Amino acid sequence: MNEQDQTAAEQAGITQAEAAETIQEATIENSTAAAAPAQKEHPHHGHRVVFETQTFFTIIIFSIFVTTFIVQAFQIPSSSMENTLLIGDFLLVDKMHFAGGGKPGLLPYEPIRRGDIIVFYYPVDPSQFLVKRVIGMPGDHIRLHDKVVYVNDKPLDESYVIHKQLTFFDRYRDNFPSPYAFSPEMDRRWRYQLQRHIKDGELVVPPDNYFAMGDNRDLSLDSRYWGFVPRANIVGRPLVIYLSVRSNEQESSQDDSNDKLNPLRQIMAHLLQMARWGRMFHVVR
């Protein structure tokens, strides 16, 4: 091979190499261009996921805030506040009303008054909530005579009170406080503390404490049996009954061995039948 033929071959080789490289680059570019539209099919997908996540956590945080500081739902499990509150009433409790302790501020806090219904941590067991009516304020002198409540030597006008045991007289419950009467339902600590708060036959409510009783006066285990309600224990006041359902103990006990599952429509019809429609959205007073 002469020198000219060798030079031509070398040039041809370079040209082929360059052509191969050009083809490879074109293939890569075409692949990238083909893949680009697939990435742009949902340009806002990532933003939507972030938005939905933020919305979910916002709802959770808001719900926690509301139930912690504003309102909380409770169910009435006993008859101690009949006929004001019935077994099966579901309440929304206003936690803002008494939150300021009666001190003036930006929010409409109000002081606790005699006659208010309050929800509070049970002083004997703070893991439980109780609902009662305020009868005695700090500094009040309280006594009961023949089931009538006297506060500072004046009988209370209690239109909300019911008595279900008119023929049965309990000396401790109905003539309170009595230095010689005793009840087996008394809290042990209150049994020893009670005498320290009696003056001239009357119970004196200490500062920052309240004396609370149930409206169903004969069947209420209240301050007569476990003592005062500290101001710090008070959570709020019942605001409204948002649901009320009659108890169904008789029907549920008829056939305990039957494990047949009822259709959802039958369950819903049963609940609708048991609902107390007249008490729904009833403001508690």
- List the catalytic residues: 80, 132
Phi, psi of 83, rounded to the nearest 5 degrees: -95, 10
Q: How many residues does the chain have?
A: 285
d(CA 191, CA 270): 46
Q: What string of H, E and C letters represents the secondary structure of the chain?
A: CCHHHHHHHHHHHHHHHHHHHHHHHHHHHHHHHHHHHHHCCCCCHHHHHHHHHHHHHHHHHHHHHHHHHHEEEEECCCCCCCCCCCCCEEEEEECCCCCCCCCCCCCCCCCCCCCCEEEEECCCCCCCEEEEEEEECCCCEEEEECCEEEECCEECCCCCCECCCCCCCCHHHHCCCCCCCCCCCCCHHHHHHHHHHEECCEEECCCCEEEEECCEHHHCCCHHHHCCEEHHHEEEEEEEEEEEECCCHHHHCCCCCCCCCCCHHHHHHHHHHHECHHHCCEECC
| Tokens 């499990």 found at | 77
Contact in structure between 182 and 170 (CB atoms under 8 Å): no
